Each structure stands twice: as structure tokens, then as C-alpha cells.
Amino acid sequence: MEELVVIKVGGNIIDNEEALKSFLTSFSAINKHKILIHGGGKIATEISKGLGIEAQMVDGRRITDAETLKIVTMVYGGLINKNIVASLQSKKCNAIGLTGADGGVVLANKRPIKNGIDYGFVGDIKEVKSSVLTTLINAGFTPIIAPLSVDENGSLLNTNADTMASEIACAMSKQYKVSLVYCFELQGVLRDFEDKNSVINEINPDTYSQLKGEGIISKGMIPKLDNAFDAINKGVNAVVIAHADNLLAIINEQKKLGTVLKK
Amino acid sequence: MEELVVIKVGGNIIDNEEALKSFLTSFSAINKHKILIHGGGKIATEISKGLGIEAQMVDGRRITDAETLKIVTMVYGGLINKNIVASLQSKKCNAIGLTGADGGVVLANKRPIKNGIDYGFVGDIKEVKSSVLTTLINAGFTPIIAPLSVDENGSLLNTNADTMASEIACAMSKQYKVSLVYCFELQGVLRDFEDKNSVINEINPDTYSQLKGEGIISKGMIPKLDNAFDAINKGVNAVVIAHADNLLAIINEQKKLGTVLKK
């Protein structure tokens, strides 16, 4: 099986021009088949504010109403995605930018109302058409994917980028030996959030339960790790959570940096 | 040679939800290889206004400054392009949305300062990589292209959609028998703008000069027709300027509607 690296880059990197530039230089130098899934960052929120669109919150959760869907389509699918693609092209990486709608690659259902909460235009992924991505990769393209899916009625849907990455990694595991790397602004999963060097080098399902029980892993890291373990259980070969700066060392030099998840 | 239809749809259709829906239903029913290039419409201007960005004009010409480039990247490359793609997917047309940056398909130079006017981030097309489009078409995709090109430094550039369409049609003529159809909200090129039925059925270079001399063809129609004649001279088989509602009759039923340009 050929190798494929599926990389998710987080919003904090997207928001920092220098960090993004450096990340894209590393990404373009990866000498394997690769797919990038990018997060949204704060630009959508800033533009919403600029247009006077209030973030809709219900029980502390953000709601994607029709106006917000327009904004994320513009910002994730347009501004961020196309600037990443243009930048990679200038670095000789033959990038092609996609949302889940393009080629119908990520199909979703609009999230049903749960416990009285209507999340709005949010997609729960139903199917990743891996053949679309394989076709593009075989044709020499590097897919760059924005966190938007599409339903069968032709509505775009806001979709969690970590979930997009893990679902895409799972689907591609049928044809490739897939490594999934979550790149963000920290060195890995930290034992002590105040100590940036307290990286937990390895987590397996047992230690994951333990770390959650002790409150060491909490909040935003839980859905990320749930996605990651889900990917491993569905056939992804390796999952690493690491600092964006270490991407090339991990992939091209196979250095053990960041947090490695084991089955 | 296989046939390929390159279609440009104008901003007035984009701005009208019902007209766009109807156009996309027709487009999805075209039973030949096809490419769509879409214009921008008024949404970018509205969003600029909403964000308090003033349109920069020099000598009556719009300037694409850095803020405006962001807006058109969001609106053309994101909002309009991805909604068209999502809608076509729901109509069983395997659309894939591109800007000139994706696959490096439309390379341009930033327009040099002319007569003291700096147009800003505007692209003059240098090369259309037809092989990228051929690869996508052969893989079963229908390319949907936003009017943005890219330069070698990785900067996106605002680009006239009519020019994008004619340059793409020309480039594709090497491998396909290409028909180029400009779809808009009128029945064709009109002899009398007040009489919507005064369509000029055929224009050749001689009658074009005459019509311009008489002032019958003027203003915005001149660059459109210049692009169209340029395309015919560079190998495009046929160019038609027609109402969006007549697209299917022209393509699938080969009816002679709108204005046909002849060499």
C-alpha cells in the first residue's frame, strides 16, 4: 500500500500569517501523497462582526444560521482555502482547493434537532467519497479541503475540521497506509497546560480514560482525541498531535515528536 | 475531436436566485463535456459596503485594492462558486469549483501601471493550463470556474470573467471542438436597447466594425465582443451570445437563438 499523509492544520496557525507561511513551506516539502484539511480561525468571526451579524449561541454552543453559513462559505471555502492554494502553487505544490461539495466528496446530513437545540446548517458526515480524492491524487493534485460538507439537497453545511480530517483519513485507509497528523500551536497533548514542555508522548485507550478521569485531558482536547481514536479504530495507521513547526521532522525524518496515539 | 461547451454566465443571472436556479438546471442537462465560468454580480459590492470598504475608483475605473481582493476572493471563489457547485451536485452534475489558482489553471501577471493608473490586484492572463481542465473532464468532473487568476508569487488576482471564458475556450480548442456561449439576461446583442426583440442574429468582423461605427454596439458590449472575436480567431469553433433561458435549446437542440459570431 502506498503511504498517504492526512494533515489537519488548526485555526490558531491559520490566524497567524507567519506561522501559516512557515507551515505551508513545510507542507509543500512533504515527499509523500498528502491531503490538507484546514480549520477556520477567527477571520469568520471578525467578518461577521464587521457586517453586524451576531454570533447565535444556544446553551453556550454556536449556531450556524443562514447568515453565518454564508460567512463561513466565503471565509473557509473562499478566502482561506484559495489563499492556501495560491501560496502552495507558488511553492511548486500542485494544490487544488475543495469543499465537501466539490466532486461531492464529503456528503453530510444537516444535524437533527437534539434536546431542543437546532444547530442550524451544521453537517454530520454521512460519507466521504474516497474515490474522488484518489482520482485527484493520482492525477498529481494535492487536495486542500475546507471544513464544509454538502447535503443531497445542495446545501453547504458547516462541519468540524477535526472530524472532516478523521473521516477523510478513515475513508482513505481502504487504499492507502494513512498517517493522520493534527498540527496546532502546542507541542502536543500537555500534562500541564501551564508547562508547554509537558508533552504526553503516547496515549492509548487505557491511558486516555485515566487522563480524562484525572482531568488532565479536558475541554476542546476531548473531541479531538475522540476523533483521533475513532480514526485508529477504523483503519488509520498512525495518529500524531503535534506542533505545526515539527511537521516535516515527523513525516520526512520520522522523528517521534508530539503525542502519538496507539491502539 | 470531441465537443466541449464553455459557458460564461453573467452577474445579472448570478444576482437573481430564480434565474440562477433555472440556469443551473439547464446547465446540468447539457449532454456534452462542459465548463462553466461565472461572473461576480453585485454581492461583492454589497458585502464591501456592509464592511464599510469604499469602492476605489480612478478615472471611472474600479481598482482592486488589498481589501477588495479579499472580498472578491471570498465572494467569487467561496460564496458564489461553492453554492453553484453544491446546487449542481444536487442536480447530479459532478461539479468541481476552481479559481485560477487551483491546479495553477489560470496564470496571470498583475496588470502593470498604465498611463499612471494602478489597477491593483488585477490579472492579465498569461497562460491557461488546458491539461489541468482536460484531466478533470476526463476524470468525470465538470469544472466551475470563478473569475480569479494567480500569479507566480502566489497572489490571487481579480480577472474579468468574459476574458477568463474566452482564454479558456481558446486553450481548450487544441484538444476539443469548442463552442463558447455567453449567457446573460438579454436575448442577444440588440440593435435597439429599448427593443428587447431587436436581436442581431449574426455578426462578422465587417458588420462588427459597421455596428460600432454606427454606435449600435457600444460600452460594455465592446469588450465582450472583442473577447468573442479573439476566441474565434484563436480556434474556437463557435461563439454565441444569448439569453440564459435559451442555453439548452442552443446546445442540445442546436437552435439558432441569440447572436452568433462568425469569422
The number of beta carbons lying within 10 Å of the beta carbon of residue A241 is: 25
Do residues A6 and A172 make contact, with C-beta atoms less than 8 angstroms apart? Answer: yes
Q: What is the pLDDT of residue B221?
A: 87
Q: What is the pLDDT of residue A220?
A: 79
Q: Do B103 and A94 touch (CB under 8 A)?
A: yes
pLDDT tens profile B169-226: 999 999 999 999 999 999 999 999 899 889 999 999 999 999 999 999 988 789 889 9
Q: Do B78 and A83 touch (CB under 8 A)?
A: no
Average of per-residue pLDDT values in chain B: 94
* Residue B71 backbone phi and psi in degrees, to 5: -60, -45
Q: What is the pLDDT of residue B160?
A: 93
pLDDT tens profile A37-80: 999 889 999 999 999 998 787 776 778 999 999 999 999 999 99
Residue A245 CA to residue A80 CA, distance in Å, equals 20
Do residues B231 and B166 make contact, with C-beta atoms less than 8 angstroms apart? Answer: yes
Q: Do A82 and B148 touch (CB under 8 A)?
A: yes
Helices (H), chain A: 11-14, 17-28, 43-50, 66-72, 81-90, 130-138, 161-172, 205-213, 221-233, 247-251
Of A76, A86, A101, the CB nearest to B86: A101
Q: Do B78 and A75 touch (CB under 8 A)?
A: yes
How far B146 CA lies from chain A's nearest CA (Å)? Answer: 10
Q: What is the pLDDT of residue B218?
A: 84
Do residues B69 and B121 make contact, with C-beta atoms less than 8 angstroms apart? Answer: yes
Q: What is the pLDDT of residue B56?
A: 80
Q: Which residues of A touch B96 (CB under 8 A)?
A: 98, 102-103
Q: Which residues of B touch A136 (CB under 8 A)?
A: 139
Residue B141 CA to residue B139 CA, distance in Å, equals 6
Q: Which residues of B touch A24 (CB under 8 A)?
A: none
Taking the CA atoms of B198, B199, B202 and B204 in sequence, report the sign of the dihedral they define: positive
Q: B260: part of which helix (H) or strand (E)?
A: strand B259-261
Of B78, B98, B101, the CB nearest to A73: B78
Extract long-range pairs of B191-194: CB within 8 Å, 24+ residues apart: B191/B216
Q: Do A90 and B50 touch (CB under 8 A)?
A: no
Residues of B in CB contact (< 8 Å) with A are 47, 50-52, 70, 73-79, 81-83, 85-91, 94-99, 101-104, 135-136, 139-141, 148, 150, 152-156
Q: What is the pLDDT of residue B95?
A: 98
CA separation, residue B234 to residues A181, A184, B57 (Å): 47, 49, 33
Q: Do B103 and A75 touch (CB under 8 A)?
A: no
Q: Do B70 and A76 touch (CB under 8 A)?
A: no
Residue A88 CA to residue A144 CA, distance in Å, equals 10
Of A94, A148, A152, the CB nearest to B104: A94
What does DSSP say about strands A238-243 and A176-184: parallel, antiparallel, or unpaired? Answer: parallel
Q: Which residues of B touch A48 (CB under 8 A)?
A: none
Q: Is B113 helix (H, G, I), strand (E, B) or coil?
A: coil
Ramachandran area for residue A151 (φ above 0: left; ψ -120 to 50: alpha; else beta): beta
Residue A43 CA to residue A80 CA, distance in Å, equals 9
Q: Dmax of chain A from CA atoms?
A: 51
Nearest chain A residue to B48, by CA: A51
Do residues A182 and A224 make contact, with C-beta atoms less than 8 angstroms apart? Answer: yes
pTM: 0.96
Orientation of helix A130-138 relative to helix A161-172, angle to 10°? 70
Residue A187 CA to residue A185 CA, distance in Å, equals 7
Residue B129 CA to residue B107 CA, distance in Å, equals 8
Domains by residue range for chain B, with CATH: 2-261 (3.40.1160.10)
Which residue stretches of chain A have pLDDT < 70?
Answer: 60
How far A150 CA lies from chain B's nearest CA (Å)? Answer: 7
Helices (H), B91-179: 130-138, 161-172
What does DSSP say about strands B95-98 and B142-145: parallel, antiparallel, or unpaired? Answer: parallel
Task: Give A222's contacts (C-beta < 8 A, 6+ positions apart).
Answer: A212
Q: Which residues of B touch A156 (CB under 8 A)?
A: 82-83, 86
Q: What is the pLDDT along chain B (263 residues), one digit of tens a residue?
A: 999 999 999 989 999 999 999 999 999 999 999 999 999 889 999 999 999 998 787 776 778 999 999 999 999 999 999 999 999 999 999 999 999 999 999 999 999 998 888 999 999 999 999 999 999 999 999 999 999 999 999 999 999 999 999 999 999 999 999 999 999 999 999 999 899 889 999 999 999 999 999 999 988 789 889 989 999 999 999 999 999 999 999 998 888 999 999 88
The number of beta carbons lying within 10 Å of the beta carbon of residue A240 is: 23
Grid look-up 466594425 returns: B209
Nearest chain A residue to B133, by CA: A139
Q: Which class for A69: exposed (0-12), middle (13-18), buried (19 or more C-beta within 10 A)?
A: buried
Of A86, A102, A153, the CB nearest to B155: A86
